Amino acid sequence: MTRSRNHVVVIGASAGGVHALIDLAERLPAAFPVPVCIVQHIGSNPSLLPELLRYRGPNRAMHAEDGQRLEPGTLHIAPPDRHLLLDGDRLRLTIGPKENHARPAIDPLFRSAAASAGPGVIGVILTGQMDDGAAGLRAVKDCGGIAVVQDPATAAEPEMPRSALQNTDVDHCVPLAQIAPLLARLVGSHEPRPRGPVPEQVLREVAINRGEATVEDLLTIAAPSSLTCPDCGGTMWEMKDPKPLRYRCHTGHAFSALSLARSQKEVSEQALWSSVRALREREMLLRRVASVSASLGDTAQAAAARSHAERVKQQSDALQQFAESVPPGIDADATA
């Protein structure tokens, strides 16, 4: 297979992604002629993904290093707790704010690849929950690249591929087993068309990911909302591009509407259960006061404390019942 200097493949995966990536790596031809960059949601946990992909596939696989040059036939994998970005033909690692509660996150990789390589990017979304990667794949398409999505019916978790399909005019939606052969055909036969201008929103969001942006950059691509960031408490700004609906704070945290809704649910649940705990502790204290008062012969104080404790118990029982009835989070279909 001849080398295609103009292409780079970027792949995003979440839940179920390790098995999917192993399957894809096994099917890629040896000496794959272009670099492959991968984000698998792992948070800050140690990862043996490079070793697994090296062992099971014919190409090199390694954790990306800051400043490393892209190498054909190499799977460059985002290391734990670092965003992976493309900067021309080099890799950049940052510990910037999380996107969709993830670091590494898929959107920053896809967005920076789109800005760096434009029509030469092939973006691939695999199995996963939530909708990280939907905005990044949209950026790939907006910059002239190719969008590939695993058929949700073949995904261990179909939510992420389904969201990508709902928000982007995808070029190829195929079962997992067909993705590697498809990539081989695309890089061997498809010559990227000339680059056009990179959309301003993509450029400014890449600057945010690199830590180079100002509040003025956010002003040009988003409008302030009445929502607050669940991570830092700052004002959330609604991105002007409505598909997919997304939010950013001036600190740099970014959320799709789906991930923000789920974060809000977690915050509200935590607040409710903290209130239940506080009321339970108050009830315990009042019953202790009643017990001590009774032992000292102060029957009036003991009765008053017991009565107050019963009222507090009723409040905590009612609040616990409410907390237990909080509805489940929304799914990707509800925010499409």
84-130 pLDDT per residue, tens: 999 999 999 999 999 999 999 999 999 999 999 999 999 999 999 99
Exactly one of 132, 142, 151, 241 is catalytic; which is it? 132
User: Looking at residue 330, what is its pLDDT?
Assistant: 55
Rounded Cα distance, 240 and 225, in Å? 11
Residues 6+ apart with CB under 8 A from 218: 204, 208, 237, 248, 250
The backbone torsions φ and ψ at residue 167, rounded to the nearest 5 degrees and listed phi first, read -110, -5
Place of tokens 């006061």: 289
Mean pLDDT for the chain overall: 92
Rounded Cα distance, 28 and 21, in Å? 11
C-alpha distances out from residue 228 to 108, 110, 259, 267, Å: 22, 26, 13, 11
User: Looking at residue 331, what is its pLDDT?
Assistant: 54
List the beta bridge partners of residue 102: 99
User: Looking at residue 2, what is its pLDDT?
Assistant: 41
Q: From first to last of the 336 residues of the chain, give the pLDDT tens digit.
A: 444 457 999 999 999 999 999 999 999 999 999 999 999 999 999 999 999 999 999 999 999 999 999 999 999 999 999 999 999 999 999 999 999 999 999 999 999 999 999 999 999 999 999 999 999 999 999 999 999 999 999 999 999 999 999 999 999 999 999 999 999 999 988 677 778 899 999 999 999 999 987 888 888 999 999 999 988 889 999 999 878 899 999 889 999 998 898 888 888 888 888 999 999 999 999 999 999 999 999 999 999 999 999 999 999 999 888 888 877 655 554 444
> What would the pLDDT profile of 126-165 be if each residue is shown by its tens digit?
999 999 999 999 999 999 999 999 999 999 999 999 999 9
Exactly one of 41, 76, 83, 250 is catalytic; which is it? 41
User: Looking at residue 5, what is its pLDDT?
Assistant: 55
Among the listed residues 76, 77, 93, 74, the one whose alpha carbon sits nearest the alpha carbon of residue 85: 93
Sign of CA dihedral 287, 289, 292, 298: negative
Active-site residue, 14 included: yes
